[in-house]
């Protein structure tokens, strides 16, 4: 039941990852995490040494990230971290709400007992992580478990395409989320929202579950806009 990141043909000895693939993951993580700020120019010659690789694998990683939407390409002018803007955040929010609903409905309808266990387990981990202090330095781990929880919720959905889209949207959203948590108060009652969401899903109440995710996503976005009123003027996207 490995994560479907690497499509390995069954029976193959699982080829070791190429340099480009590993740097791809690292790059994506740094962009999502915010270490590489939105709009930053990705000068390969400068990045290559810091990653300990040549420019070729980096270039490959950037290309893939461009198709994922986390990086923009401008011919003859290289790559840069995709900018953020209020319009983009709004689009992201609505699209994610819609895609998440579709996937969630499917997952709730098809989920079996294994799925239920995965959901409850993921929820357990998440609240456990929440308890042990919301120190800033733990955000990475929390965000990780947060992603796993949402993945678990949708894991019974049988549409790889929907799941792929959802993952992309989730990652792009995480970029904005980080902008809020970097500032903000400990948080609102995310715990409660997650628990209610899981309960509705496990209770096979698709309508309620959908309503809850939609609101969950909306609240997160509101929180982001609250912490960054400047986003309304696209000030972060310029430089």
Q: Which residues bind a second copy (CB under 8 A)?
A: 6-9, 15-18, 21, 56, 59-60, 63-69, 72, 74-77, 91-92, 94-95, 98, 102, 158-162, 164-165, 169
- How far apart, in Å, are the Cα atoms of 204 and each of 67, 98, 106? 35, 19, 11
Query: How far apart are alpha carbons 78 and 59 in whole angstroms?
Result: 9
Of 165 and 202, the one with the shorter C-beta distance to a second copy is 165
Name which of a second copy, DNA, none residue 5 binds, using a CB cut-off of 5 to 8 Å depending on partner kind: none
User: DSSP characters for 225-236?
Assistant: HHH-GGGGGTHH
Q: How far apart are the first and last CA of the chain?
A: 42
3-state SS assignment for residue 41:
strand
Token digits of residue 104: 């969630």
Which residues, 31 to 90, sit near DNA by CB under 7 A? Answer: 41-46, 53-57, 59-60, 73, 75-79
Name which of a second copy, DNA, none residue 161 binds, using a CB cut-off of 5 to 8 Å depending on partner kind: a second copy
Min dist CB 16 to a second copy, Å, is: 7
Min dist CB 51 to DNA, Å, is: 9
Of 76 and 113, the one with the shorter C-beta distance to a second copy is 76
Q: Are strands 41-42 and 71-73 parallel, antiparallel or unpaired?
A: unpaired
Element (H, E) at 199: helix 190-202
Count of residues binding DNA (CB under 7 A)? 24
Query: How far apart are alpha carbons 65 and 131 in whole angstroms?
Result: 34
Name which of a second copy, DNA, none residue 42 binds, using a CB cut-off of 5 to 8 Å depending on partner kind: DNA
Phi-psi region of 39 (alpha: psi -120 to 50; beta: other; left: phi over 0): left
User: DSSP characters for 60-101?
Assistant: HHHHHHHHHTSEEE-TTS-EEEPP--HHHHHHHHHHHHHHHH
Name which of a second copy, DNA, none residue 187 binds, using a CB cut-off of 5 to 8 Å depending on partner kind: none
Name which of a second copy, DNA, none residue 182 binds, using a CB cut-off of 5 to 8 Å depending on partner kind: none
Name which of a second copy, DNA, none residue 54 binds, using a CB cut-off of 5 to 8 Å depending on partner kind: DNA
Applying CB under 7 A, does 15 fall inside the site for DNA?
yes
Applying CB under 7 A, does 10 fall inside the site for DNA?
no
Query: How far apart are alpha carbons 72 and 110 in whole angstroms?
Result: 37
Of 46 and 136, the one with the shorter C-beta distance to DNA is 46
Min dist CB 77 to DNA, Å, is: 5
Contact residues toward DNA (CB under 7 A) are: 15-16, 18-20, 41-46, 53-57, 59-60, 73, 75-79
């Amino acid at each position: 039941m490995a994560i479907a990141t690497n499509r390995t043909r069954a029976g193959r000895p699982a080829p070791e990852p190429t340099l480009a693939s590993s740097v791809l993951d690292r790059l994506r993580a740094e962009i999502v995490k915010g270490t590489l700020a939105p709009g930053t120019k990705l000068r390969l010659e400068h990045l290559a040494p810091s990653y300990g690789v040549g420019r070729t694998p980096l270039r490959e990683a950037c290309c893939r990230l461009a198709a994922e939407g986390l990086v923009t390409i401008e011919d003859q002018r290289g790559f840069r971290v995709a900018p953020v803007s209020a319009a983009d955040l709004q689009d992201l929010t609505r699209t994610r709400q819609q895609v998440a609903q579709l996937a969630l409905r499917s997952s709730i309808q098809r989920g079996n007992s294994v799925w239920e266990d995965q959901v409850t387990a993921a929820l357990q981990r998440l609240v456990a992580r929440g308890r042990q202090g919301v120190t800033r330095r733990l955000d990475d781990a929390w965000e990780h478990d947060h992603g796993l929880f949402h993945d678990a919720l949708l894991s019974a959905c049988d549409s790889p395409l929907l799941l792929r889209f959802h993952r992309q949207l989730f990652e792009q959203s995480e970029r904005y989320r980080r902008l809020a948590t970097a500032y903000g108060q400990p948080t609102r009652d995310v715990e409660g929202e997650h628990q209610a969401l899981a309960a509705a899903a496990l209770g096979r109440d698709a309508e309620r579950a959908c309503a809850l995710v939609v609101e969950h996503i909306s609240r997160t976005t509101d929180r982001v806009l609250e912490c960054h009123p400047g986003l309304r003027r696209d000030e972060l996207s310029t430089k």
